Amino acid sequence: MATSFLDSSTPTQARSDKTLRQEGPPVEINIGDVLRLALPLNTTLLGGGVDARRYVNWVAVISDWQGIEEQAEPNDLVLVPQRLQHALIAPAARQLLQPLAELPVAALVLFEECPVEIAGIAAELNLAILVIPLGARVREIHEAVALLLLDRQTATSERAMQLYRQLSAMSREGMGLAAMTEVMSKLTGNIVAVQDKRLEIQAISWPSNSAVEREALITALQQRDALPPVLRNRKAAARARQTYWQQLLPIENMGRLISPIVSGDRARGYLSVVGPADELDMLDSLTVEHGAAACALEMAKAKAVSEAKKALRGDFLEGLLAGSLPQKEVERLEGRLDHNTREPHAVMVVAWAGTPAPSMRRLETSIHWVLSNHPRPALVHIYGNQHVVIFQALKTTEDMESVQQLGRRIREQIETEFPEATMVGGIGGLAKTLMDWPIAYDQALQAMQLGQRLKLNNQFVEFSSLGIYRLLYGLENLPQVQRFTEDIMRPLADYDAQNRGSLVKTVEAYFAHHGNISQTAESLFVHRNTLLYRMERIQELTQLQLDQANMRLALHLALKLWQLRPETEQTPPSDLPFRS
């Protein structure tokens, strides 16, 4: 039966040589070594896994089927040029192969496909056959095997460079990380995994004979605390002189070689070669080193494509939200979103509050991570480097619970990842069609801005919960509204500043408890009589009689407008007339 070095359906030959080499001197090379380190990566071994144990003393090229004993010696790897292979026709083939089997040679190397009849005769003679892919030259194979036999270290380095060239070509041809990890896995006979910066698995390949429990290994690989300390900081990982690290895994006798995938000034991900800890060797280390460099090319290319699409999507979204695109233009360009816009959506806005704060890109990355495990699809866009907008699809027009769930998960993720930072967020109303997105966005933005003013930090404020603030938000900057607020609230604020008082806080508690004196006093931890004195003072300063409904409403509205003001606005606006 044929065993291809890249055929995942058959046992991998690369690992057997490491296990069996202990039976002979360390300097000896067997067929498994030749497969891994000298022959083309998709060479096929006919004869089964046992033949990978055979040791190779030298490499010989025969020029004739006559006088085999003078051309080859026991344990030679014998190269059969194509013109001689054409003479291997059953039944004469048995007579030609018999002398090689009697020496015995380590294996025959053929440069054309081996007929089934010839493979059968070789198997009966216990003669291993290696089939080289078409296009390889006898001289090249001879030099590669001879180099391995004379200098294993140099041959291993050459193999690693060959691997890098092949992986780079695969990246250029758009074959992707999955195909690249498969090549590395078949070369090393080990598990190979590519992870992104958040340690999410992007591609992983397993030898068919691996007994490692998949879930246990993936869990182990995703533990950030288990990374070497320098790799936990992506910029530090990019600056490190060391190119790979070796670690024991919390799985019996398993270890890994890990290398950062560096693009630009930071690590974009990680490449791991995982296998028995005592069998990871020089080829494995060179594979993880050169493989990480090739994966960096692939990830950089994927990122460039992603950024280009993202820019086109962003231009469309910002034009849509700004209302600068006609409906026909919206319909023509909506395909740029690569998203089902026919479903109803909810719009969310989130930003950092205060300084210093992490970048918007880091906020966007955290949101994407949450969305990777969220049941509903969503678009994410950084708007003007000011805030992040999320357009989440809804199952139905009643499905606001999924939006609230997303808001809670984003808040929890940010609190975990950025414990020193503060976020503010808003949720707009329902957008039934794409043309409704700008309205829902404006509502979400208004909810977020009001939430920030009202100090509703680290939560998402829903537009539908704003109540009277929806009206006041549009009125607060009118000169007459500002004068109204100043006339009522400024005396209370000035009194508190001059006397270390708490009249403004008292008004807040009074309305929070619907004018109930006993409940208000209890919430302020003061005696009822103290509260009554304060209420009299409030009426004197504001010239409002709180037993009259319209004056009570005036104080309540003034308080709401005052609460919308930033704390820094402690002095009256310069353009207001002097308040009597």
DSSP 21-87: GGGS-TT-EEHHHHHHHTS-TT-EEES-GGGGG-EE-EEEE-S-SS-HHHH--TTEEEEE-HHHHTT
C-alpha closest to that of 18 among 4, 1, 31: 31
Whether residues 234 and 177 fall in one domain: yes
Helix axes 528-542, 517-524, angle to 10 degrees: 100
Single out the residue in 150, 184, 213 at which a domain terminates: 150
Residue range of the domain that includes 130? 2-150
Whether residues 353 and 369 fall in one domain: yes
In a domain, residue 318? The reply is no
In a domain, residue 362? The reply is yes
Single out the residue in 410, 433, 466 at which a domain terminates: 466
Whether residues 450 and 481 fall in one domain: no
In a domain, residue 579? The reply is no
In a domain, residue 328? The reply is no
The DSSP 8-state label assigned to residue 132 in this structure reads P
What are the per-10-residue average pLDDT scores of the chain (580 residues)? 38 35 52 86 72 84 92 93 90 90 92 91 91 92 89 83 90 92 92 93 90 91 92 92 92 92 91 92 90 92 83 87 86 85 94 91 93 92 93 92 95 94 94 93 94 90 89 85 92 92 94 93 94 94 92 92 72 38
Q: Encode 433-483 in three state secondary structure.
A: CHHHHHHHHHHHHHHHHHHHHCCCCCCEEEHHHCCCHHHHHHHCCCHHHHH
User: How far is it, in rounded angstroms, from Cα 349 to Cα 393?
Assistant: 15
Q: Encode 150-197 in three state secondary structure.
A: HCHHHHHHHHHHHHHHHHHHHHHCCCHHHHHHHHHHHHHCCEEEEEEC
Whether residues 73 and 121 fall in one domain: yes
In a domain, residue 316? The reply is no
Whether residues 136 and 202 fall in one domain: no
Instruction: Give the type of residue at 74.
Output: P
CA distances from 22 to 26, 82, 106, 274 (A): 7, 36, 18, 21
In a domain, residue 274? The reply is yes
In a domain, residue 6? The reply is yes
Q: Which two tokens stand for residue 4?
A: 């291809």
Does the model's pTM come out above 0.75?
no
Instruction: Give the type of residue at 122.
Output: A
The CATH number for 291's domain is 3.30.450.40
Whether residues 488 and 548 fall in one domain: yes
Are 461 and 426 in contact by the 8 Å Cβ rule? The answer is: yes
Q: Which residues contact 436 (CB under 8 A, 6 or more apart)?
A: 430
Assign 96 to helix, strand or coil: helix
C-alpha closest to that of 466 among 443, 496, 483, 488: 443
The CATH number for 69's domain is 3.40.1390.20
Assign 548 to helix, strand or coil: coil
CA distances from 378 to 299, 393, 413, 424, 513 (A): 23, 6, 17, 19, 40
CA 410, distance to chain mean position in Å, is 16
Whether residues 125 and 234 fall in one domain: no
User: How far is it, in rounded angstroms, from Cα 83 to Cα 63?
Assistant: 9
User: How far is it, in rounded angstroms, from Cα 242 to Cα 232?
Assistant: 14
Assign 337 to helix, strand or coil: helix
Whether residues 560 and 523 fall in one domain: yes
Whether residues 477 and 462 fall in one domain: no
Are 494 and 540 in contact by the 8 Å Cβ rule? The answer is: no
pLDDT for 16 equals: 34
Are 233 and 197 in contact by the 8 Å Cβ rule? The answer is: no
pLDDT for 219 equals: 93
Are 531 and 521 in contact by the 8 Å Cβ rule? The answer is: yes
Instruction: Give the type of residue at 147.
Output: L
Whether residues 89 and 225 fall in one domain: no
pLDDT for 389 equals: 96
Q: Write the DSSP assignment of 267-333 as a string of letters.
A: EEEEEEEEEETTT--HHHHHHHHHHHHHHHHHHHHHHHHHHHHHHHHHHHHHHHHHT-S-HHHHHHH
In a domain, residue 158? The reply is no
Whether residues 15 and 146 fall in one domain: yes
| 387 bridge partner residues | 383
Whether residues 234 and 259 fall in one domain: yes
pLDDT for 20 equals: 33
Domain count, the chain: 4
pLDDT for 50 equals: 53
